[in-house]
Amino acid sequence: MAPGNLTRDSEFFLLGLSEKPELQHLIFGLFLSMYLITVFGNLLIILTVSSDSHLHTPMYFFLSNLSFVDICFTSTTIPKMLWNIQTQSQVITYEGCMTQMFFFMLFAGLDIFLLTVMAYDRFVAICHPLHYTVIMNFTICGILVLVSWIISVLDSLLQTLMVLRLSFCREVKIPHYYCEVKLLIQLACSDNFLNDMVMYFAAGLLGVGPFAGILYSYSKIASAIHRISSAQGKYKAFSTCASHLSVVSLFYCTGLGVYLSSAATHTSHSTATMSVMYIVVTPMLNPFIYSLRNKDIKRALNSFFRMPPRKGLLIVPFMFFPTLKFILTLGSEKLGNSHLS
In a domain, residue 110? The reply is yes
In a domain, residue 338? The reply is no
Query: Can you give the pTM of this predicted structure?
Result: 0.84
In a domain, residue 32? The reply is yes
In a domain, residue 258? The reply is yes
Given a contact cutoff of 8 angstroms between Cβ atoms, the answer to whether 69 and 110 are in contact is yes
pLDDT for residue 327 is more than 50: no
- Give residue-wise pLDDT tens across range 276-288: 887 898 899 988 8
Q: Using DSSP bridges, classify how beta strands 11-14 and 171-174 pair: parallel, antiparallel or unpaired.
A: parallel
Q: What is the largest CA-CA distance in the chain?
A: 75
pLDDT of residue 262: 63
Given a contact cutoff of 8 angstroms between Cβ atoms, the answer to whether 92 and 173 are in contact is no
In a domain, residue 322? The reply is no
pLDDT of residue 116: 95
Torsions phi, psi for 167 (to 5 deg): -110, 145
In a domain, residue 288? The reply is yes
pLDDT of residue 163: 93
- Give residue-wise pLDDT tens across range 250-271: 888 877 777 666 656 556 666 7
- Give residue-wise pLDDT tens across range 33-79: 999 999 999 999 999 999 888 889 999 999 999 999 999 999 999 99
* CATH assignment at residue 148: 1.20.1070.10
Task: Provide the percentage of residues in the chain whose pLDDT is more than 70.
Answer: 83
pLDDT of residue 240: 81
Domain count across the chain: 1
In a domain, residue 310? The reply is no
In a domain, residue 44? The reply is yes
Average pLDDT over every residue of 315-339: 42
Which range marks the domain in which residue 111 is found?
12-302
